Amino acid sequence: MSNLKNILKSSTWKLIASCCQLFFKIKRWIFTYFIWGRNGNAPTDILSVLNTISLIPLLGRSGKRCLIHWSIHIEEPKNIFLGENVRLRKGCDMTGMGQIIIQDNVLIGPRVKFYTNKHIYTDISKSILAQESVQGYIKIEKNVWIGGDCILLPNISIGEHAVVGAGSVVTKDVEPYTVVAGNPAKVIKKIGDQIAISKST
């Protein structure tokens, strides 16, 4: 087992993994624009498994039973840490300039955007391109469900068993056992309240 870990961490394996990721980027472009069309669906099971395997040596951490869709776009994978049984659906965009930490049993819907860096724009004596960006983090705790087309902005934590409604823009922390939705995302209800009501009826 230790020999296998050493192989996965070796520079040769990382080179092979990087080549695999380049292959997936080219394949993703070909499939998207020439075969399935922009809104089409490719047969994903085998491709996603291969994509997940090729990402293992590149990610900061990847737990057991993760599945990363082949169409996902990742920058700076070394700053992305996945727990066990994480599901990342098609079209997600993960900008790992800062840290992205996703704990166990998390479901990420399609086309969710993770932005960990914030661009400075307040110095009017400089062009926007000349101003620096500040790295932040995104932390998602256990048993969270993020709906499709959400945008997660830097320096937020999403607590255990929280649900983020589809299309939401998350700009601040989400408390555990909370359902949020909207732009910006606001509390819709507490999951614990729903459980209490169902028990009393």
- Alpha-carbon span 166 to 24, nearest angstrom: 27
Burial class (CB in 10 A: 0-12, 13-18, 19+), 150: buried
Identify whether 161 is a catalytic site residue. no
Cα–Cα distance, 130 to 33 (Å, whole number): 34
pLDDT tens-digit profile of 88-130?
Answer: 998 999 987 889 999 999 999 999 999 998 888 888 888 888 8
Across all residues in the chain, what is the average pLDDT? Answer: 81
Sites in the chain below the pLDDT cut of 70: 1-17, 19-45, 193-201
Phi, then psi, of 178 in degrees rounded to 5: -125, 140
**Alpha carbon of residue 190 to chain centroid:** 24
φ and ψ at residue 123, rounded to 5 degrees: -85, 100
Catalytic residue among 69, 73, 119, 161: 119
Domain architecture of the chain: domains with CATH: 2-200 (2.160.10.10)
Give 28-47 as a DSSP string: HHHIIIIIS-TT-----HHH
The strand order across the sheet containing 151-152 reads 73-75, 93-95, 113-115, 151-152, 169-170
Percent of the chain at pLDDT > 90 equals: 43
| pLDDT, tens only, 48-60 | 777 787 788 888 8
Confidence at residue 198, expressed as pLDDT on a 0 to 100 scale:
42
